[in-house]
């Protein structure tokens, strides 16, 4: 059975790129553009990995990560945070919120897939 990955990204091009690359590598992928519906959808989908943009309209990815960590069904799901925020202290803030790993945008495919494979196989 394919591993399930949820992609939370409001930018259409980034979301499509992430989803296309993941599907090409054999993953079952669900994508979400609206951060407000993420937690309920994730509980229904039961992902093996969540890829979370930090800058989402209407809700912060950091808040969503913290909420996911409070949900019994999502507590142990690894979260790969991706963001254009790459200022000093941002990575520490995202990791301390509960993300498993952090990648700064623009994201190249090789490091992206390296992070995905490491997280999905651990």
pLDDT digits (tens, 9 = 90+) for 45-59: 999 999 999 999 889
Q: Give me the pLDDT at residue 90, please.
A: 83
Q: Would you say residue 122 has pLDDT above 90?
A: no
Q: Read off the pLDDT of residues 82-91 as tens digits, 9 standing for 90 and up.
A: 988 767 788 8
Q: Give me the pLDDT at residue 12, please.
A: 96
Question: Domains plus CATH for the chain?
Answer: 4-120 (3.40.50.2300)
- Residue 56 DSSP SS3: strand
Per-chain mean pLDDT for the chain: 94
Q: How many CB atoms lie within 10 A of CB 8?
A: 28
Question: Residue 114 half-sphere exposure, CB side, CA atoms within 13 Å?
Answer: 7
Predicted model pTM: 0.95
Q: Give me the pLDDT at residue 1, please.
A: 74
Question: Residue 15 half-sphere exposure, CB side, CA atoms within 13 Å?
Answer: 16
- Quote the CA–CA distance of 91 and 85 in Å, as a whole number: 9
Q: Read off the pLDDT of residues 11-50 as tens digits, 9 standing for 90 and up.
A: 999 999 999 999 999 999 999 998 889 999 999 999 999 9
Q: Give me the pLDDT at residue 120, please.
A: 96
Residue 5 backbone class (left: φ over 0; alpha: ψ -120 to 50; beta: rest): beta
Q: What number is the average pLDDT over the span 68-79?
A: 96
């Amino acid at each position: 059975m394919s591993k399930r990955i949820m992609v939370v990204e409001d930018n259409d091009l980034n979301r499509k790129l992430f989803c296309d690359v993941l599907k090409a590598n054999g993953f079952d992928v669900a994508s979400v553009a609206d951060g407000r519906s993420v937690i309920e959808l994730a509980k229904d989908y039961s992902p093996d990995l969540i890829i979370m943009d930090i800058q989402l309209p209407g809700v912060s990815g950091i808040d969503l990560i913290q909420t996911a960590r409070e949900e019994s069904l999502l507590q142990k799901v690894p979260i790969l945070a991706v963001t254009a925020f790459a200022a000093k202290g941002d990575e520490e803030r995202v990791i301390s919120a509960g993300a498993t790993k952090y990648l700064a945008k623009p994201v190249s495919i090789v490091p992206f897939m390296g992070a995905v494979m490491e997280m999905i196989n651990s």
